Amino acid sequence: MRTVRTVAELRALLLPDRRAGRRIGLVPTMGALHDGHLSLLRRAAAETEVVVLSLFVNPTQFDEASDLAAYPRDEAADAALAEHAGCTVLFAPSVHEVYPDGFCTIVTVDGPLTGTLEGAHRGAEHFQGVATVVTKLLNMVGPDVAFFGQKDAQQALVIRRLVRDLDIPARIEVCPTVREADGLARSSRNVRLHGEDRDRALALRAALRAAEDAVAGGERDAAAVRDAARAAMTPFSVDPEYLAVVDPDTLVPRTAIDGDTLVAVAARVGEVRLIDNTLIPSPR
């Protein structure tokens, strides 16, 4: 595995592979790698010949300075995990490399894909930050395929839209959420959960399971499904910031469960903000 820190180094390193027609995969991350990231790397290694992992804590997508400051960083540990999982190139640029002096371009995806759920609670700047940095990474690396996790379902939709709208020649592959043994979705923020808060964090998975069970039991009213999910969080003393039952492609709220449905939830557990979701197939 090679580590590079500038766009010029990255492009020079990838040029022989590109000329030889080798497929290039990209796994964008902010570091603090866990099994979810490693599953993306393994998927990339299985589908492409050259695997680039980007390691960059993007300041423009954080709406709280405290969250940015608390985000875990350990490049040496991340590099060891990445190499073991099949990473070929570790791209670890500085903030100045990504946002040089005079940088003044923002990529904005308008509409319900960014105006609801995370966008409604974290502000428009969050997805502007995501869209801008991902556009830059796609242009820097020039991958054939980029791999993202289903846990960030709204983010994946936003990225698919910008790739389509801007004619970026990369396929976006969304891979299943990886969970801990008790069902908690893997997240870099999980290391900040301690004591009772770690147990209380299971409220999100409990809500999603309740929604799944309600639909499996024949419930087709979206409001009733949402109520069942919310009730499942009560024993954990966790209130959701949002708990939404929506179309998985448009994020438009559902009134009835008459097609594939995304149930998405966000909540603060102690000082840690968590998100999770489940995709419920269309009932037969």
CA-based end-to-end distance of the chain: 47
SS3 assignment, position 218: coil
Compute the distance between CA of residue 26 and CA of residue 40 in angstroms, rounded to an integer.
9
Annotated binding site for beta-alanine: 61
Q: Taking a C-beta distance cutoff of 8 angstroms, is the pair 117, 242 a contact?
A: yes
What angle separates helix 153-165 from helix 124-141, to the nearest 10 degrees?
A: 60
Dihedrals φ, ψ of 164, to 5°? -65, -50
Q: Which of 67, 60, 66 is nearest to 98 (CA)?
A: 60
| β pairing state of 261-269 and 272-280 | antiparallel
> Which of 37, 96, 121, 194 does the annotation list as catalytic?
37
- Strand-pairing partners, residue 252, are none
Annotated binding site: 30-37, 61, 149-152, 155, 178, 186-189
Active site residue 121: no
| β pairing state of 240-246 and 261-269 | antiparallel
Q: Which of 197, 282, 208, 279 is nearest to 243 (CA)?
A: 208
CA distances from 56 to 73, 77, 152, 257, 282 (A): 10, 14, 17, 39, 37
- Which residues are catalytic, by number? 37
